[in-house]
Chains A and B, each alone.
Chain A
Amino acid sequence: MKNIHPEFAKGHKPQVFDDPALDQLHGAWLTLATELSVAFERIDTLERLLENRLSVTRSEIENFEPDAVASLQRTERRLDIAHRLLRPFREFREAKITHASRTNTNQEK
């Protein structure tokens, strides 16, 4: 029954960057980021379950339900990964905006 759905949606795949390799790389690192977040959460689950004892079962991991505090901490961790990952792009955007507003001011003069 596994993988009965097509891997790719039918329809035009837009190319965003001049070099299609860049489109592919951006796609790939976002997948990597997701898997990193998944791994972090598995570690977090293990740490929470093991805090007061020596062993843990697989079913405890699979059925682990974070409480409200833990849920919030995990949400913050996910947003933090997104924020850290996108730092280079943020920096680039800010630099462009600053540069553009300087150029515009000069033109107005």
Chain B
Amino acid sequence: MLKFLSHAMLPTVNHDEQSRQDFVSAFRSHLSSEVMPGVYKVFKSRVEPFFHAKNGRLPANEQEVRKAMTVDPFYQFWSAMQRRSQEMLWEAVIDPTERQLPDLIKQAISKENIGSKKTMRSKRIGTLQLDPTLNIPRYHTAVDIHLQPGGYHTDFTAHDVAAGAIYDKGINLYMGGALGPENNLMGDILIAYLREKYPKFKPNKILDMGCAIGNSTLIWGRAFNNAKVHGIDVGAPVLRYAHARAAALGVPIHFSQENAEHTNFALGSFDLIVSHIVLHETSRSALPRILGECHRLLRPGGLMLHLEIPRGKTLMEQFMHNWESFNNNETFARYMTHIDLQIEAIKGGFVKKFITVDEWFPDMDVGKMNYADNFFWKILAAERE
């Protein structure tokens, strides 16, 4: 596995902070390779037969699996470890971030380039537009997504960039480095999909929705270096970080603080709209509105591509995937199990024959995921009529 790339906005770590992060990462890797498969074994060998003996049938839905599994001592043990390791992951990253925050903020301010879109400098390092009046949607404020304290949207100090720095290193640890040296995997996957399925499609204007720190946005900027690439998110601290990070890595991206349900861009502004495992962090009512906004923003013949995490084929896989919903503050994710993305896209205004919902096994090493042996990605693709 390639080493995580250091850049100007990434907090450095001292000896013990490094060891702490390394242990959390090693422990999570041990949990997913050695302990998690045992949960499936326990289900097959004990929980399911016991359920059958008691009810004369197998569990009929995910809720019945949940009810039977959550009282199993081995599942309880794995769940407690998985949850605690997630909390510890943030703890291990927050300490070094807070220690260096004043310097990180200084770095970010030196790269800031608000509201001067036409300068040479903005062509080189992109732009950042924040909107302090934006209402942060409830799916961000109700709980801290993924247990990251303060979430993606909270400013704890003026010009705060901490949420971004914490997220950058945090997701590297979360995936045990599998996201690649620049947390580039999600962007790589969707670009590979575009090149395989739509080889002639050459976008000039690209929008990345829910871009957070712009780790995927930047990959699009590199892959299509003649295109104008925009990234939007509702969180100010992640966007400040995203802008400074993209500038540090030398890719011009235009970041703005907007809600993907109703952006400020004009009708038909984009050739291509993408998102990377974002939809399941929104809400039942937001989902069709976001897809409707994609429809409004795409020019005729334009394309949207949304990368999503599949939610399991068997009831047990569904239960395990949805562990995140009940234990890692992915509140909406479990509802995605039974949502038909094609129907949602039609609600958003797309025409049925132009919509594809794909299960895709990219020809690349995706690393080991936490909850299933055979991992694939789900992609919602639709062309604007």
Chain A interfacial residues counted at CB < 8 A? 51
Cβ of B249 to closest chain A Cβ, rounded Å: 23
Given the complex of chains A and B, what is the CA–CA distance between A49 and B86 in angstroms? Answer: 33
A96: interface (CB < 8 Å):
yes
Give the chain B neighbours of A82 by CB distance below 8 A. 26-27, 30-31, 34
- A78–B22 touching, CB < 8 Å: yes
- Which of B35-43, B109-117, B224-232, B345-353 forms contacts with chain A? B35-43
B374: interface (CB < 8 Å):
no
- B42–A86 touching, CB < 8 Å: no
- Which of B74-82, B183-191, B206-214, B263-271 forms contacts with chain A? B74-82
Given the complex of chains A and B, what is the CA–CA distance between A75 and B157 in angstroms? Answer: 36
Candidates A7, A8, A83, A101; contact of B34 at CB < 8 Å: A83
Given the complex of chains A and B, what is the CA–CA distance between A65 and B243 in angstroms? Answer: 30
- A34–B20 touching, CB < 8 Å: yes
B273: interface (CB < 8 Å):
no
- A10–B143 touching, CB < 8 Å: yes
Q: A16-B80, A23-B80, A100-B49 are in contact. Are A92 and B74 (CB under 8 A)?
A: yes
Interface residues of A in 1-55 (CB under 8 A from B): 1-12, 14, 16-17, 22-23, 26-27, 30-31, 33-35, 37-38, 41-42, 45
A104: interface (CB < 8 Å):
yes
Interface residues of B in 299-356 (CB under 8 A from A): 326-327, 329, 331
B204: interface (CB < 8 Å):
no
Candidates B27, B149, B162; contact of A30 at CB < 8 Å: B27
Q: A9-B148, A10-B151 are in contact. Are A79 and B29 (CB under 8 A)?
A: yes
- B84–A27 touching, CB < 8 Å: yes
- A5–B23 touching, CB < 8 Å: no
- B15–A6 touching, CB < 8 Å: no
- B149–A93 touching, CB < 8 Å: no
Residue of chain A at shortest CB distance from B83? A14
Residue of chain B at shortest CB distance from A65? B18
Cβ of A83 to closest chain B Cβ, rounded Å: 7
Give the chain B neighbours of A62 by CB distance below 8 A. 14-15
- B19–A42 touching, CB < 8 Å: yes
Given the complex of chains A and B, what is the CA–CA distance between A79 and B31 in angstroms? Answer: 10
- B102–A1 touching, CB < 8 Å: yes
Candidates B26, B99, B142, B149; contact of A5 at CB < 8 Å: B149
Candidates B22, B50, B142, B151; contact of A75 at CB < 8 Å: B22
- A16–B76 touching, CB < 8 Å: yes
- A93–B41 touching, CB < 8 Å: yes
- A93–B88 touching, CB < 8 Å: no
Candidates A2, A11, A41, A107; contact of B98 at CB < 8 Å: A2
Cβ of B105 to closest chain A Cβ, rounded Å: 10
B172: interface (CB < 8 Å):
no
Given the complex of chains A and B, what is the CA–CA distance between A14 and B327 in angstroms? Answer: 6
- A78–B26 touching, CB < 8 Å: yes
- A16–B26 touching, CB < 8 Å: no
Given the complex of chains A and B, what is the CA–CA distance between A104 and B44 in angstroms? Answer: 11
Interface residues of B in 1-56 (CB under 8 A from A): 14-16, 19-20, 22-24, 26-27, 29-31, 34-35, 38, 41-42, 45-46, 49-50, 53
Given the complex of chains A and B, what is the CA–CA distance between A41 and B15 in angstroms? Answer: 9
Given the complex of chains A and B, what is the CA–CA distance between A31 and B84 in angstroms? Answer: 9
Candidates A8, A23, A89; contact of B74 at CB < 8 Å: A89
Given the complex of chains A and B, what is the CA–CA distance between A108 and B85 in angstroms? Answer: 40
- A10–B98 touching, CB < 8 Å: no
